[in-house]
Amino acid sequence: MAWLRSVQERFLSRPARGFALGIGLLGIVVLMAVVVPAEPLGVDRRWAEAMQDIRTPFLTDVALVFNALGRGLGWVLSLAAVGIVLLIGRRWLALVAFAVAEALTSLSSTVLKILVGRARPPEGLVNPVGSSFPSGHAAYAGATCIALVLLFTSRGPRRRVWWTAAGLGIVGMAWSRTYLQVHWFSDVIGGSLLGIGISLAVFGGAQVLTQSSRPTSAQAARPATHTR
């Protein structure tokens, strides 16, 4: 743990609050996993019908771009690109936190899909694997968009613009999954909250951990005492 003392990462202004918020969001996802029925909710059906009503070739192409970003080669390349940038910058804590957040998001999404076992909407425009709740694509977008803001922007008022961009990315991915008729509306809500919660908990927890392991200025200035 000695290497943590030299880490200077500052992801959040209030890391403890970010960690607590992340844990709270994960609690909501767990609650949803328990109470969400196998059959779609009324809002799920109405939203699916609305997505069918607005279907156009252009929107379908946009949704397919989101689909490619969250699976297979697109998923691997996007995560690898972030990892390489952090590696080149020798940002070891940031790299570990990012890897942990992405791994936990993928793992937890897969486990919840198995446990919940919810059927997907019929007649999807693509052929995904696994059950419906939560959306793995939405979870990936939630975790990654939040992580990108925490990793590559500075704390302060200017970060609001990037939070807005992250929100649009998360909403766009969630929309695309329902537009393609591969997830119900409640699936993408659960997936988005899952990814956001994991990123906030991991990055907030990592910052709290490094702060608690680093000596205070008073401790650093205090001369060492020796006993015989």
> How confident is the prediction along the chain (228 residues), in pLDDT tens digits per residue?
444 444 578 898 899 999 999 999 999 999 999 998 888 899 999 999 999 999 999 999 999 999 999 888 888 999 999 999 999 999 999 999 999 999 999 999 999 999 998 999 988 899 888 899 999 999 999 999 999 999 999 888 888 999 999 999 999 999 999 999 999 999 999 999 999 999 999 999 999 988 775 554 444 445 544 444
Within-domain flag for 42: no
Nearest Cα residue to 203 out of 137, 155, 135: 155
Within-domain flag for 46: no
pLDDT of residue 220: 44
The answer to whether 64 and 76 are in contact (CB under 8 A) is no
d(CA 220, CA 225): 13
pLDDT of residue 213: 59
- The number of distinct structural domains making up the chain is 1
The answer to whether 59 and 224 are in contact (CB under 8 A) is no
Within-domain flag for 52: no
pLDDT of residue 73: 86
Within-domain flag for 16: no
d(CA 194, CA 30): 9
d(CA 86, CA 92): 7
pLDDT of residue 211: 79
Within-domain flag for 207: yes
pLDDT of residue 214: 56
pLDDT of residue 1: 47
Within-domain flag for 162: yes
Within-domain flag for 36: no
Within-domain flag for 32: no
pLDDT of residue 225: 46
Q: Domain residues for 147? A: 61-212
